[in-house]
């Protein structure tokens, strides 16, 4: 089996100091035992038939479903008045809610199928899934195939929904980076052999995404990949050097692009007359919406900013509508829910690593970085603490491929949790 070795800082960060992980795992099973987690695999009937679904993280599933349901309600609230605009006059008031409901049902069906598939399959298939995501990122740029919206070519029309390859790329990079660290475990201290190939892969993805353009998706993908490299035990100096290079690349992209630079200036001075009706328009109206919400909000459905003042109210700026209608309390609950989900994903990842299932553990933590990181960026944009980026709120914002890939990625983590519990009870994954 593969063994994960981390530096002292990484161990303290993840709670992987010997003894601590065993205590957490014993607590999660409701049993008191002095047997180390790794030895539980060989206790009682290890040679017998594998037990079927001895349990799963029900709290995680309930919170995820709660976020999906809350997102559905808020998408309806944010879009119910859109047909009053000439741009959406052909739609009925329930158009976006109905489609979001279809997306959620589709994602749940996909999750039920995904959770039946052993994690070993995803580990073997991860390089091919990564290659498939790269090919789709190329396909979306082909004239006549990719669909353009507001100057960006990010979608492939599939009838019922428009598929966004960058969403698949987020799942693919989490799988590929986790698999990559398992394969490079023996040489992870060698920069050229361990880090350089992943840097090339990120550079290819970056060039394809910037051609769409979709800098926000590239930021999330880079965050996932670098996070997994760090958690996988890459040398600290090499890691921070890689981060510095990546940050430098982002700064260079901003400086070399006038419209990106203008967006940064608008973020710094959104109320300046020069930007208030231009690049700062979304941010100013998002802040107005949040300000109107105060502590308890104006009431569900009572948002004024969604009445054609706040652009993309049902996608990038859904949190602003939540803040206006449900107030500080509603926003705080959403923030806490995402924090709890990310923390829980990291806990499942720690359990897997304690069971010497390195790929499963790093993948689960990579999805935790994705959900927590993208939610943080979206919330930061809505609250005016980060520059405006085209990133949706995971599990809640309107969007077909985003919802489906979010839920499928989480379904694989649930499968990891199921296999963890089987192993800790003496079965086989």
- Residues 6 or more apart whose CB falls under 8 angstroms from that of 386 comprise 267, 377, 380
Q: Which pLDDT belongs to residue 131?
A: 94
> Which helix (H) or strand (E) is 323 found in, with range?
helix 318-354
DSSP 152: E
Please tell me the distance from the alpha carbon of residue 38 to that of residue 201, in angstroms, as a whole number.
34
Q: Which residues of 380-405 are buried (b: 16+ CB within 10 A; e: fewer)?
A: ebbbbebbbbbbbbbbbbbbbbbbbb
Please tell me the distance from the alpha carbon of residue 57 to that of residue 338, in angstroms, as a whole number.
16
User: 265 exposed, middle or buried (CB, 10 Å; 0-12, 13-18, 19+)?
Assistant: middle
Closest CA to 122 of 342, 371, 352, 375: 352
CA 423, chain centre distance (Å) = 27
Dihedral sign for Cα atoms in the order 371, 323, 67, 163: negative
Q: Which residues pair with 162 in a beta bridge?
A: 157
Residue 206 near residue 226, CB atoms below 8 Å: no
Lowest mean pLDDT among 37-51, 332-346, 386-400: 37-51
Q: How far is CA 296 from CA 37, 211, 249, 381, in A?
A: 46, 42, 42, 21
Residue with tokens 């709660």, as numbered in its chain: 66
Residue 427's φ and ψ, nearest 5 degrees, are -90, -165
Question: What is the percentage of the chain residues whose pLDDT exceeds 90?
Answer: 52
- In the β-sheet with 162-163, what is the strand arrangement from edge to edge? 147-149, 152-157, 162-163
Please tell me the distance from the alpha carbon of residue 181 to that of residue 195, in angstroms, as a whole number.
10
Dihedral sign for Cα atoms in the order 25, 31, 32, 36: negative
Residue 255 near residue 205, CB atoms below 8 Å: no
Lowest mean pLDDT among 206-210, 252-256, 340-344: 252-256
Q: Which pLDDT belongs to residue 50?
A: 44
Dihedral, CA atoms, 177, 179, 182, 183, nearest 10 degrees? -100
Q: Which pLDDT belongs to residue 35?
A: 35
What digits encode the pLDDT tens for the residues 400-425?
A: 899 999 999 999 999 999 999 999 88
Residue 240 near residue 226, CB atoms below 8 Å: no
Residue 406 near residue 166, CB atoms below 8 Å: no
What digits encode the pLDDT tens for the residues 240-270?
A: 777 787 888 777 777 777 777 777 877 888 8
Residue 44's φ and ψ, nearest 5 degrees, are 65, 95
160 three-class SS: coil
157 three-class SS: strand
**152-157 and 147-149 strand pairing:** antiparallel
13 three-class SS: helix
Please tell me the distance from the alpha carbon of residue 71 to that of residue 78, in angstroms, as a whole number.
10
Closest CA to 189 of 148, 146, 228, 236: 236
Could you tell me how many residues make up the chain? Answer: 429
What digits encode the pLDDT tens for the residues 145-185?
A: 888 776 678 888 887 778 899 999 999 999 999 998 888 77
Residue 296's φ and ψ, nearest 5 degrees, are -110, -5
Q: What is the pTM of this model?
A: 0.84
What digits encode the pLDDT tens for the residues 180-204?
A: 888 877 666 666 666 778 888 888 8
Q: Which residues pair with 157 in a beta bridge?
A: 162
**152-157 and 162-163 strand pairing:** antiparallel
DSSP letter string, 77-130: HHHTTGGGSGGGTTS-TTHHHHHHHHHHHHHHHHHHHHTTS-HHHHHHHHHHHH
């Amino acid at each position: 089996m593969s063994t994960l070795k981390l530096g002292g800082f990484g161990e303290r960060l993840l709670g992987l100091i010997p003894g601590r992980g065993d205590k957490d795992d014993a607590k999660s099973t409701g049993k008191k035992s002095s047997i180390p987690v790794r030895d539980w695999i060989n206790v009682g009937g290890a040679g017998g038939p594998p037990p079927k679904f001895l349990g799963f993280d029900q709290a995680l599933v309930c919170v995820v479903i709660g976020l999906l349901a809350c997102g559905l309600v808020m998408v309806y609230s944010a879009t119910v008045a859109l047909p009053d605009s000439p741009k959406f006059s052909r739609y009925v008031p329930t158009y976006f809610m109905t489609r979001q409901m279809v997306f959620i049902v589709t994602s749940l069906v996909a999750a039920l199928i995904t959770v039946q598939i052993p994690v070993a399959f995803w580990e073997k298939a991860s390089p091919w899934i990564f290659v498939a995501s790269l090919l789709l990122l190329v396909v979306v740029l082909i004239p006549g195939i990719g669909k353009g919206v507001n100057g960006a070519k990010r979608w492939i029309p599939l009838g019922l929904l428009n598929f966004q390859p960058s969403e698949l790329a987020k799942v693919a990079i989490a799988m590929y980076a986790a698999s990559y660290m398992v394969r490079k475990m023996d040489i992870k201290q060698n920069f050229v052999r361990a880090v350089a190939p992943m840097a090339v892969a990120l550079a290819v993805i970056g060039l394809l995404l910037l051609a769409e353009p979709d800098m926000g998706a590239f930021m999330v993908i880079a965050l996932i990949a670098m996070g997994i490299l760090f958690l996988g035990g890459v040398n600290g100096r090499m890691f921070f050097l890689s981060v510095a290079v990546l940050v430098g690349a982002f700064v260079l992209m901003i400086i070399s692009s006038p419209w990106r630079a203008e967006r940064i200036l608008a973020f710094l001075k959104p109320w300046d007359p020069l930007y208030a009706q231009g690049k700062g328009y979304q941010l100013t109206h998002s802040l107005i919406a949040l300000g109107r919400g105060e502590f308890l909000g104006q009431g569900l459905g009572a948002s004024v900013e969604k009445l054609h003042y706040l652009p993309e109210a049902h996608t990038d700026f859904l949190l602003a509508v939540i803040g206006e209608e449900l107030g500080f309390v509603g926003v705080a609950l959403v923030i806490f829910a995402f924090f709890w989900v990310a923390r829980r994903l990291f806990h499942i990842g720690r359990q897997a690593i304690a069971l010497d299932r390195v790929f499963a553990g790093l993948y689960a933590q990579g999805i935790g970085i994705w959900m927590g990181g993208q939610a943080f960026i979206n919330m930061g944009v809505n609250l005016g603490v980060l520059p405006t980026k085209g990133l949706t709120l995971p599990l809640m914002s309107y969007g077909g491929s985003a919802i489906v890939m979010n839920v499928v990625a989480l379904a694989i983590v649930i499968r990891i949790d199921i296999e963890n519990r089987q192993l800790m009870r003496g079965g086989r994954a």
